[in-house]
Chains A and B, each alone.
Chain A
Amino acid sequence: METVETAKLVYSRPESLTDATMHYCPGCTHGVAHRLIAEVMDEMGIRERTIGVAPVGCSVFAYYYLDCDFVEAAHGRAPAMATGLKRVLPDRFVFTYQGDGDLASIGMAEIMHAAGRGENITVISTNTAQYGMTGGQMAPTTLPGQKTTSSPSGRDVELMGYPLRMAEVLSNMEGSGYVVRRSLHNAANIRKAKKAIRMAFEVQKRGLGFAMVELLSTCPTNWGMSAVESLKWVEENMIPVYPLGDYKVTSALDGIRV
């Protein structure tokens, strides 16, 4: 009997993503963000010429999953390490992958000056409004009133300050070519995030300066929610504090469609 091929492959693992089982918690969006980076590396054909800089945090093992050369930075120092790499290998793609504690707290000096210098690197930053790996402590990105293990009564802005909005802050730097905020809470926004990540690598390809994509992300474990509840929490609680949008898009990108 003749076999009739009815199945058509519409979705598969990108080549730039390894087949390692991810260590991330169920419902965490790191896996989504990793996949998007892998898809972009595939589309641009840059996997072999890309060097990733992993941070300290849950994504410390990002190099288990992304199939390109990688180095592992000290907490917060990924932009400095990326600077060293990019300065000696200017024709390679260098990107950092940093959580909000890494980027907005301990690594504030390094990220600000990388942007200020217009360092031609790509920064993918996840924002979960707390420290993930150490178990849910308050971060600079923690929302006012948000309870964490180190702000058990909720973040009191009088004592603990206000959330830092990194996309807005970095967009003010002249060296920034592309700074946007996206969210990973539903399919439509994931598609927008993918385009932004692609654009952030296109910025590097064209030598248009510093590029950063902030991704609002989930942490169901530390938030004490189900995966579905966390996605809703991003939409209802994080987006009002961290509005999605394009904060800096250099005019040199006009007309580039991805």
Chain B
Amino acid sequence: MARELLKGNEAMAEAAIRAGLEAYFGYPITPQTELLEWMSKRMPELGRPFLQAESEVAAINMVYGAACTGKRVMSSSSSPGVSLMMEGLSYIAGTELPAVLINVMRGGPGLGNIAPSQGDYNQMVRGGGHGDYHAIVLAPASVQEAIDLVVLAFDLAEKYRSLTFVIADGNIGQMMEPAELPPMRPLKRTVPEWAVQGAIGRERRVLSSIYIEPEDEEVVNIRLLERWREIEANEVRFKEYFLEDAEIIVIGYGTAGRVAFSAVRTAREQGIPVGLLRPITVNPFPSGRIAELIPQARAFLVVEMSTGQMLEDVQRAVEGRVPVEFYGRLGGVVPYPDEILNEIIRVAEEPIELGVDPLDGWLKRLKAITN
């Protein structure tokens, strides 16, 4: 396959198709819509079901029904639409079905706007729907990585019978850059032993998320947790840049991580001992790697396009042993590399106190540059 100039949303759609997607159900919402439009053209060409649902509520329940058959299925949406899907996602988790959802995040809360944001971190990483469950959450920082992670998402979803989310943002979805698509995989031929396809020559099967006896539900909750701990042990992914001798360690994912990379590179040119850790899986979170970096770190600097949602995960990993500083832009504003560079310089030059809430200073600095 050759590198082509690809738009993020379309590239993710085509990647899913080549990964063996067997049915797509979705609903239009900016900045994700090109993904649905691509599916509407390509899936029928390949003789695979595509359906534009009447709502995100219906779309995710169509995914739920189709996932019960053991087929590779997915949906995609953006923040407000994903909120509507939370009911169905909880049922899919409770029924222990594999399914993939791409969330091209936008500014919020509420209707917000259509600009890139990372404000859905807590919703995607902490669960969002009701009940005790976890989902695998993958965060691409480029069109190429979005392609690769969409393919990985299906494999992880099926390996662990788990919900797997790809959280892109409006930047990743809308921008075009050179990338290479994977070859077309053949559709899988095997039917999982749990799938419901009609009781031909076997006992009937029921797929449900109801366990009316609390003791039975507890067993399910334990099974879900044990599966999650297995995922935590085996599936943590991240990328590192300039970390060998770094004393200041920047942590950012997705677009924020990519902008931070530019700033880190410039800071290195200026002789500042700074490096970048970019989580690929924000769930499971690379807490172990962060803990390993504590002895060499003077300070951590978390960069997000939210009010510090991932910051809490970093703070938990660092356990107050070195200062954790924060810089974020909000509401669909993407930080410039210079803003993050200034933060790196500030952390390198100013003494950072341990035990001070990083949000206090950040809010003051942010308000000085906003209206």
Contacts and interface: CB of A to CB of B under 8 A. Distances in A.
A81 B198 CA distance: 15
Contacts of B209: 72
Interface string B34-66: 000000000000000101011101110111111
B196 A70 contact: yes
Contacts of A19: none
A72 B95 CA distance: 9
A98 B207 CA distance: 17
B208 interface: yes
A69 B205 contact: yes
B100 interface: no
Interface in A134-186: none
Interface in A35-59: 47-51, 53-54
A89 B210 contact: no
B65 A48 contact: no
A113 to B, nearest CB: 4
A228 B219 CA distance: 43
Contacts of B64: 73-74, 77, 80-81, 84
Given A74-B91, A77-B58, A110-B58, A85 B65 contact: yes
A87 B66 contact: yes
Nearest to B67: A84
B208 A88 contact: no
A73 to B, nearest CB: 7
Nearest to B62: A84
B204 interface: yes
Interface stretch (B68-76, B346-354, B360-368): B68-76
Query: Which of A63, A70, A84, A85 has its CB near the most chain B CB atoms (within 10 A)?
Result: A84
Contacts, number: 125
Given A63-B206, A70-B204, A70-B206, A92 B61 contact: no
A77 B208 CA distance: 13
Contacts of B67: 84
Contact of B23 (A77, A81, A87): A87
Q: Bin chain B's interface residue count.
A: 35 or more
Contacts of B63: 84
Contacts of A50: 198
A227 interface: no
Contacts of B123: none
Contact of A53 (B54, B65, B200, B210): B65
Contacts of B88: 74, 77
Interface in B81-96: 87-88, 91, 95
B199 interface: yes
B207 A84 contact: no
B206 A69 contact: yes
Query: Which of A48, A68, A69, A109 has its CB near the most chain B CB atoms (within 10 A)?
Result: A69
B197 A92 contact: yes
A71 interface: yes
A83 B23 CA distance: 11
Given A69-B204, A72-B210, A73-B61, A88 B198 contact: no
Contacts of B271: none
A113 B58 contact: yes
Contacts of A73: 61, 64-65, 91
A244 interface: no
B62 A71 contact: no
Nearest to A113: B54
B207 A71 contact: yes
Given A88-B22, A110-B61, A69 B66 contact: no
Given A49-B198, A67-B204, A87 B61 contact: no
Given A72-B208, A74-B87, A110-B58, A88 B69 contact: yes
Given A69-B197, A74-B88, A82-B65, A88 B71 contact: yes
A28 to B, nearest CB: 18
Contact of A84 (B23, B55, B57): B23
A109 B54 contact: yes
B295 interface: no
A60 interface: yes
B201 interface: yes
Interface of B: 22-23, 25, 49, 51, 53-55, 57-59, 61-69, 71, 73, 87-88, 91, 95, 196-201, 204-210
Given A82-B65, A84-B64, A87-B51, 9 more contacts: A53-B65, A70-B196, A71-B206, A73-B91, A74-B91, A84-B61, A84-B63, A84-B65, A89-B198
